[in-house]
Amino acid sequence: MQLSKTRKDFKMISARNHFHGNVKEIRKGAVNGIVKLETPGGNTVSSTISMEAIEDLKLAEGKKACIFVKATEVMLANENLKISARNQWKGTVKEIQEGAVNAIVKLEIEEGVTITSTISLEAVKDLGLTVGAKAVAIVKSTSVMLGEE
């Protein structure tokens, strides 16, 4: 599984971050389940979704699936944190587009694979983010949407 390098694979979606890969594990609960996908580069992505969605998508170990994450759901840090957010990917800042209040930060987490985060300019400055800096993208598993590939 890996992030799309372009959004051309999907006709109508606003989420900037698209992961493709194979279901590695499914932990089923009474109402929700945790689905883990693995990227070709070895990154694991956890998604907490309803059991109904798991059944509707016919998810099973080894099946190909897509993950979608809005850029506004991607937090950035200077290092891995001991927090409840399951998805943490180390990378290098490749681009920062500054706006009046927010910035779009692109972090390369695998060769040729980036994850995009929309954060405040204040956060960019507080974290000392610059092109070439190391950072960690963090996403709660409840913010990860799944789809069929």
The pLDDT assigned to 104 comes to 97
Contacts of 58 (CB under 8 A, 6+ apart): none
pLDDT in tens, 9-28: 555 678 889 888 899 999 99
Amino acid identity, position 67? I
Name residues of the chain where pLDDT drops below 50. Answer: 1-8
What integer pLDDT is reported at residue 148 of this predicted model? 81
Q: Which pLDDT does position 91 carry in this prediction?
A: 96
Cα distances from 93 to residues 20, 35, 47, 67, 147, in angstroms, run 22, 28, 24, 22, 28
Q: Could you give the domains of the chain?
A: 2-69+144-148 (2.40.50.100), 71-139 (2.40.50.100)
Please report the pLDDT score of residue 139 as a whole number. 97
Residues 107-116 pLDDT 10s = 999 888 899 9
